[in-house]
Amino acid sequence: MMDLYDIGAEFDVIDKEFPLVQSDYFDDFDNEIYVTACALALWEIGQMNEEKLVYIKSVLTKGACVKEWASHDEKAGKARQKELDKFWKKISQVKTTPRAKKKYRKITNLYFSPDDLLTFQLEDGNYRAVICTSIDQYRGQCNYILVPTTYNSNKKPAVEDMINEEILGRTIGSSYDPQTVREMQPGIDRIWSLSGGDCNFFFGLIMHAVDHKDFINFKEKFERVGTLKIVDGLKRMGSFGYESSFDRFENIFSDLENHIKIFQQEKYPVKVLCDLQ
């Protein structure tokens, strides 16, 4: 809701996208979380009114979260109620000055680009390789999304050296029919073909995100050696983690096989996942 507000969307658009009443599919617990989040946003942007307050109060009166938390820990239930009381007192008062719209700076002096094949050398002297599949910028934060490969050699890799290597990913269960999955994830048949073609699951990549502000401290460790493009439809997230130092890459890639085993990841051929010229 606040993202739409910050980019200048009209309130009617915001209200349509995030209606306060979402009773069709929320249970009481989830509804309380959703409604309180929306209520705070509405109050912040100066769009709270008496009708909305009546509905919000009806949700809070049910005490769904208080009951759930108290069932596990009575003190936690009381703490939740105390916070809700403070919350209600806050939003019940008219906010005379709506929160100013925030403007977030987009970083343009990027270190790397999407589809860059990057290599780095570890303490054992061997080179490893990752693919920068995308660069995500949101609310002023800029993350380089790096996907591991199995490359491990004393030779610095070139794109042609990656042809017989593998990329880390995982399957994701689906409740949709196969045709719907195909429509939702173009290219999934490339993955299904590895299991005989008669499948029904999504595919996701193992992603390691590095923030632009952190990368400045160890970007010199990485070298662009070419471009390797994973099929766009297969760039879905399978797992996601943040890495803030080069030590993390040393820890993960120094024994990648063990890391794969612990986190139940899988290997997929570069020939299958990538658009090769």
40-85 pLDDT, tens digit per residue, is 999 999 999 999 999 999 999 999 999 999 998 999 999 999 999 9
Position 25 scores a pLDDT of: 65
Distance CA 157, CA 223 (A): 10
pLDDT at 103 over 90: no
pLDDT at 23 over 70: no
pLDDT at 259 over 70: yes
Position 277 scores a pLDDT of: 64
- Do 140 and 248 belong together in one domain? yes
- Do 120 and 86 belong together in one domain? no
Per-residue tokens: 58: 């009806």
pLDDT at 110 over 90: yes
In a domain, 111, yes or no: no
Provide the strand spans (E) within the chain: 116-121, 127-138, 141-148, 166-173, 201-211, 223-227, 237-242, 266-269
pLDDT at 6 over 80: no
pLDDT at 9 over 80: no
- Do 127 and 256 belong together in one domain? yes
**Over residues 242-250, mean pLDDT:** 96
Distance of CA 78 to CAs 65, 71, 85, 189, 204, Å?
10, 11, 11, 52, 41
- Do 257 and 136 belong together in one domain? yes
**Over residues 119-145, mean pLDDT:** 94
Distance CA 144, CA 80 (A): 37
194-241 pLDDT per residue, tens: 988 789 999 999 999 999 999 999 999 999 999 999 999 999 999 999
Task: Tell me how far the alpha carbon of residue 61 is from its chain's centroid.
Answer: 33
pLDDT at 4 over 90: no
Position 141 scores a pLDDT of: 87
pLDDT at 16 over 70: yes
In a domain, 199, yes or no: yes
Q: How confident is the model at residue 14 (pLDDT cuts 50, 70, 90)?
A: confident
**Over residues 120-147, mean pLDDT:** 95
Per-residue tokens: 10: 């009209």
Position 57 scores a pLDDT of: 95
- Do 238 and 138 belong together in one domain? yes
**Over residues 104-123, mean pLDDT:** 93
- Do 86 and 121 belong together in one domain? no
- Of 86-95, 126-135, 145-154, the poorest mean pLDDT is in 86-95
- Do 38 and 145 belong together in one domain? no
- Do 130 and 228 belong together in one domain? yes
In a domain, 217, yes or no: yes
- Do 146 and 244 belong together in one domain? yes
Supply the range of the domain harboring residue 128. 116-273
- Do 122 and 38 belong together in one domain? no
In a domain, 73, yes or no: yes
pLDDT at 104 over 80: no
152-176 pLDDT per residue, tens: 999 999 999 999 999 999 999 999 9
As for how many domains the chain has, the answer is: 2
In a domain, 101, yes or no: no
Q: Which of 203, 210, 224 is nearest to 252 (CA)?
A: 210
The domain boundary, picked from 36, 59, 92, lies at: 92
In a domain, 82, yes or no: yes
pTM of the model: 0.69
Instruction: Enumerate the H helices of 63-199 as residue ranges.
Output: 64-72, 74-92, 178-184, 188-192
In a domain, 100, yes or no: no
- Do 138 and 85 belong together in one domain? no
In a domain, 141, yes or no: yes
- Do 26 and 83 belong together in one domain? yes
